Structure 1
């Protein structure tokens, strides 16, 4: 039990470090999307990549800790680790999306600049490019929704694992209670048999005492009768 608690404390410490690093990473991503200078954006992207690498190192350390974790707590710790891995994959996607966002915005600006009466572009081509950009936005939105659903599924799985662990503990308690009741029934049966034996012995003793009394009375009557006659 002490080793299990220590293992969970280690995992909690790793989780706190991970989420703290993720908070800084998200701030860095926001800075990337609002920075217009290419050199500065590159520097910020390098910072985000370094933070992402540190997050992966934390996950790797947690995987190594999980190998030596006690079996009863390993299932819960695996669920928590899967959740962090999911967050790590999301960080990778956010960094990739933030790195590509200036290119997408530039394509959109070029498209808007080319949409003028003197443009040689065919109207259908412009419309196709606009639809392509709209489709890209919809795909990004769908991807974010799927990420949210996946995160919710992992959280639900974690809750389910905790519930199963609680039910397992309650089952073990009920089994121990049943064994205790079985032992109590065994003791009660032994006590009942002992009382029955004692009751039979008391009845036998009463019969013997009654016979002795009758014999004594008969002897007294016989002695008295012999003296009188």
Structure 2
């Protein structure tokens, strides 16, 4: 596995581009379809948008670990990806609204109002409620995706803060070890000086003893002779 700090970001970005291409293809085809096929295409677009939103969240987390010297260009790429996602979210929402409105209008033409059934075979109010529920469901999905993205961003910021704290602790420990190492070196030098002086004092003491012994021997020899 590539350990380069941008490897995961690049991988998520590549997956994101593939999903965006798939969304673009679905939306382009949606304009040529109708009925159930159009609904299925919009459902696939919604699922792809949710997956793309999750990839954006992962990219937001990974960009925190990129070195500062490289972060600027990756932030630009992230903003571009977020802009593409927002644009297709808006386009998808507009197409969902158009689809719901077209469905309501189509049902209105099928159910011809009569004096006995002033709202046709299917109540206009029921159709409006159904369309509103569909729009609310799509809005709720978008809000959930946004919430997941914000939670992932908060978690990424918290992880980054913890890593920074641990790094500071490691640096402080390293400084403490360096200080202790310096103190040990100084203490070792002091001990070496003390040992050297001790040996010097022993030599001086031995020399004095030898001189005294010689003096005593000379004095005794002179007295005896």
TM-score scaled to structure 1, two decimals?
0.50
TM-superposed CA distance for 1:107, in Å, is: 1.9
How many residues align structurally?
A: 181
Query: Residue 191 of structure 2 aligns with which residue?
Result: 197
Counterpart in the other structure of 1:62: none
Distance 2:12 2:136 in 1: 32
Instruction: Give me the whole-angstrom Cα distance separating, in 1, the residues matched to 2:166 and 2:35.
Output: 57
> 1:139, CA displacement in angstroms?
1.4
| Residues in 1 aligned to 2:192 and 2:3: alpha-carbon distance in whole angstroms | 53
Q: CA deviation digits over 1:166-219, x for unaligned, max 9? A: 33542442343134223213303312422442564577689789989x99xxxx
Counterpart Cα distance in 2 of 1:96 and 1:175: 53
Matched, 1:132 2:126: yes
Alpha-carbon distance in structure 2 between the residues aligned to 1:24 and 1:142: 25
Matched residue SS, 2:33: helix
Question: RMSD of the TM alignment (CA)?
Answer: 5.3
The residue correspondences of 1:149-160 to structure 2 (distance < 5 A) are: 149-160=143-154
Q: Does 1:45 align with 2:37?
A: yes
The unaligned stretches of length 5 or more in structure 1 are 32-39, 60-72, 77-91, 216-229
Deviation readout 1:73-100 (Å, 9 max, x if unpaired) = 7xx9xxxxxxxxxxxxxxx999999877
1:24 aligns with 2:25: yes
Partner residue in 2 for 1:106 = 106
Matched, 1:120 2:115: yes
- In structure 2, runs of 5+ residues without a counterpart are 52-61, 66-91, 210-225
Q: How does 1:156-171 map to 2 (within 5 A)?
A: 156-171=150-165
When the two structures are superposed, what TM-score results if normalisation uses the length of structure 2? Answer: 0.50
Question: More helix per residue: 1 or 2?
Answer: 1
